[in-house]
Amino acid sequence: MSLRPPSVPDKDTKPAIPARHVVLIVFDGVEAIDIAGPASVFSKAEELRPGSYHLHIASPTGQTVLTNSGLRLADTVAFEQLPMPIDTLIVSGGDEPAVRAAIVEHRVGEWLARRSGSARRVASVCSGAFALAAAGLLDGREATTHWRVCDQLQALRPQVRVQRERIYVRDGPVWTSAGVTTGIELALALVEDDLGHAVAMEIARTLALPLLRGAREPQLSPTLQAQSAASGRMREVVAWIGTHLQEDLSVEAMAGQWGMSPRHFARAFAAEVGHTPARFVEQARVAAAAQLLVQTHWPQDRVASRSGFRSVDALQRAFARQLGLAPQAYRERERRRASPGGAALLPLK
């Protein structure tokens, strides 16, 4: 049986392009997921559109690189041996000592300053943004990085307009992403920019992503924040709510689902999650509807149904309570903000 991904319809893809050289920059102490995530995306794109990309894993010396998890990357390409022209440069991230050593000892920032001008675009994953900043590539631009070090980046480089609540940021030819797994979403956005939406969505399905977040989604999702303070059982409840928004999520129904009395369930949920069940469910449904409004052309009745609201009126009232504006106003505002590097539109199905 072939494991090759199915072909992707051509109607939503861009014309074939010459193979592009994509370079992932690594160094000792690099975060393994920062490499593996984008590399998987570009390799899947090459499977779907053969001849689209040539991927290179490059390090300052070309020697074996030890990641922060102990994995070894053998036979990396030395900077001076990289092919020309480079289409896309992506700098991976790592912990602070590793990134500092890459910039100071191995002069990655200086190399980027010299070579970035010949690349079509430059990107970073997580704390790789500090290397771009050292090269002066973020001055006067919007950028993001892992939420833990956003303030540090802003203090280090006041010329950068740091965006703390973003999955990834595109400012001209410079792309930056937040922490770790957001490198996958950044890479998908880069592929979509080259090969079209259908290819990006097929890769997302192949990688079994639960959803493809837009660039303006917060780095820390409300669901994750709710789970952080909850016990094991309530963490399961919170996760279950997010995947069952179209079902009956009344206190009585959820209490029965989890073998608790309605009164005990409501008290335990509020104590651990910090919101009543009804308020949390409404927040989750509004968040799902907000994403659909931005990423699709669906009418409001379909958005309401898919996100668990019984009517458009219920959707509109929930938006007014949670966000202070109407669904259509939210859609128009976010579409304006997202251009040109915002969330992709999902096909109507």
Render pLDDT for 50-90 as a digit per residue (tens, 0 to 9).
999 999 999 998 989 999 889 999 989 999 899 888 999 99
Q: Report helix, strand or coil for 311.
A: coil
Residue 4 is assigned to a structural domain of this protein: no
pLDDT at 331: 87
Name the DSSP letter for residue 7.
Answer: P
Residue-level pLDDT at 6 = 44
Q: Which structural domain range is residue 61 located in?
A: 20-206
Both 128 and 262 in one domain: the answer is no
Look at residue 9 and tell me if it is in a domain: no
Average pLDDT over residues 300-312: 93
Cβ atoms 42, 55 nearer than 8 A: yes
Written as six digits, the tokens of 165 are 């609540």
The answer to whether residue 67 sits within a structural domain is yes
| % of residues, the chain, pLDDT over 90 | 51
Mark whether 30 and 176 lie in a shared domain: yes
pLDDT at 200: 87
pLDDT score at 229: 57
Question: Does residue 154 sit within a domain?
Answer: yes
Q: Contact at 8 Å (CB) between 241 and 276?
A: no
Is the domain of 154 the same as that of 271?
A: no
38 and 161 co-located in one domain: yes
Taken in order 39, 43, 49, 51, the sign of the CA dihedral is: positive
Cβ-in-10-Å burial (0-12, 13-18, 19+) of 139 comes to: middle
Cα(first)–Cα(last) distance of the chain, in Å?
29
Nearest one of 228, 183, 232, 190 to 209, comparing CA atoms: 183
- Name beta bridge partners: 53: 20
Where does a domain end: 171, 206, 241? 206
pLDDT averaged over every residue in the chain: 84
Q: Are residues 128 and 95 in contact, defined by beta-carbon separation less than 8 angstroms?
A: no
Do 35 and 171 lie in a common domain? yes
Q: Do 228 and 193 share a structural domain?
A: no
Place of tokens 């504006």: 325
User: 93 near 146, Cβ under 8 Å?
Assistant: yes
Burial 228-253 (b: 16+ CB within 10 A, else e): eebeeebbebbeebbebbeeebebee
State how many domains the chain has.
2
Neighbouring C-beta atoms of residue 70, cutoff 10 Å? 7
pLDDT beyond 60 at 10:
no
Clarify whether residues 276 and 180 are in a common domain.
no
On whether both 167 and 107 belong to a single domain, the answer is yes
In tens, the pLDDT along 183-195 reads 998 999 999 899 9
Local confidence band at 206 (pLDDT 50, 70, 90 cut-offs): confident
Instruction: Report whether pLDDT(4) > 90.
Output: no
- With bands split at pLDDT 50, 70 and 90, how would you rate the model's confidence at 216? low
Element (H, E) at 177: strand 174-177
- Asked if residue 87 and residue 26 are part of one domain, the reply reads yes
- pLDDT of 9 > 50? The answer is no
Compute the average pLDDT of residues 133-141: 94
> Strand 142-143 relative to strand 174-177: parallel, antiparallel, unpaired?
unpaired
DSSP E strands, 199-248: none
Using alpha carbons only, what angle is made at residue 14 by residues 6 and 175, rounded to the nearest 5 degrees? 100
- Domain final residue pick, 144, 178, 206: 206
Neighbours of 36 (CB within 10 A): 16
| Domain identity same for 175 and 247 | no
Q: Is residue 134 part of a domain?
A: yes
Within 10 A of 73 (CB to CB), how many other CB atoms are there?
18
Distance between CA atoms of residues 185 and 208, nearest Å: 13
> Confidence band (pLDDT; 50, 70, 90) for 212?
low
Pairing mode, if any, of strands 72-73 and 65-66? antiparallel
Q: At 300, which CATH number? A: 1.10.10.60
Give the model's confidence band at 232: pLDDT under 50 very low, under 70 low, under 90 confident, else very high: low
Comparing CA positions, the residue from 210, 214, 220, 222 lying closest to residue 284 is 222
Look up the CATH number of the domain holding residue 43. Answer: 3.40.50.880
Q: Is there a domain that residue 299 lies in?
A: yes
Q: What's the CA gap between 13 and 24, in Å, rounded? A: 25
Q: Could you tell me if residue 14 is inside a domain?
A: no
CA 149 to chain CA mean position, Å: 17
Instruction: Please indicate, yes or no, if residue 212 is contained in any of the structural domains.
Output: no
**Mean pLDDT, range 92-120, rounded to an integer:** 91
Q: Give residue 348's pLDDT band: very low, low, confident or very high (50, 70, 90).
A: very low
Claim to verify: residue 267 and residue 194 sit in the same structural domain = no
Do 133 and 162 reside in the same domain of the chain? Answer: yes
Q: What is the mean pLDDT of residues 217-232?
A: 56
User: Of the candidates 155, 173, 206, which is a domain's last residue?
Assistant: 206
